Chains A and B, each alone.
Chain A
Amino acid sequence: NAGVTQTPKFRVLKTGQSMTLLCAQDMNHEYMYWYRQDPGMGLRLIHYSVGEGTTAKGEVPDGYNVSRLKKQNFLLGLESAAPSQTSVYFCASSYFPHINQPQHFGDGTRLSIL
């Protein structure tokens, strides 16, 4: 039962570097999400996707880009990393967001920007 898999689990970047976080789910979910978690702030939605080839902005999209080329994968990119993007990033997926459908989360990626 892989569920939602995030790679990498940890990464340290220098300011200005770029990187891509990969999220893969094997539950055939249509909807996928990227969140960031910061101390005292809970989780905040960065971007989400309602299906292959679609993406939309969430609450805090600036500085991030996403792509959903395949249904099972959702990529989060940082083109020019900034220290303010130091955070723990979570990917999640779900079926149609009916109110009784919880999101299934990956284990998170801890990202530090120096």
Chain B
Amino acid sequence: AQKITQTQPGMFVQEKEAVTLDCTYDTSDQSYGLFWYKQPSSGEMIFLIYQGSYDEQNATEGRYSLNFQKARKSANLVISASQLGDSAMYFCAMRKNGGFKTIFGAGTRLFVKA
């Protein structure tokens, strides 16, 4: 069975510093995608970044990058130069290729301090 584990319920980071949000996953599938979503206090779910299981390079989207270590089954989100607006809940998610079910982790709440 697929499973996503986010071990950090809450994280604090100083403004302008980098922060890493951990995500480990468990799957027996060979082809799958990993996603990170941001949920600010207003409640909407915002897609941030995607990594495919066969991608050799780590994904990057602006200040977001995904540190993908396939052998360790980890897909950590790195946010560089944190901003106050980055304070939010962050969810790691996974879906197998062609599958309809996306599995979400429990989330990590990030607090950015001024």
Chain A residues near B (Cβ < 8 Å): 31, 33, 40-45, 48, 50, 56, 58-59, 88, 90, 92, 97-108, 110
Which residues from chain B sit less than 8 Å from chain A, CB to CB? 4, 9, 31-33, 35, 37, 42-47, 50, 52-53, 91, 93, 95-102, 104-107
Q: How many A-B residue pairs have CB under 8 A?
A: 68
With A and B bound together, what is the CA distance between A104 and B97 in angstroms? 17
CA distance A44 to B98 in the complex (A): 18
| CB-nearest residue of chain B to A106 | B44
| In the complex, residue of chain A having the shortest beta-carbon distance to the beta carbon of B99 | A97
The verdict on A48 contacting B100 (CB below 8 Å), with A41-B106, A42-B107 known, is: yes
By secondary structure, the A interface counts as loop
Q: Across the interface, which residues of A come within 8 angstroms of B95, CB to CB?
A: 97, 99
Query: How far, in whole Å, are A45 and B101 apart by their CA atoms in the complex?
Result: 7
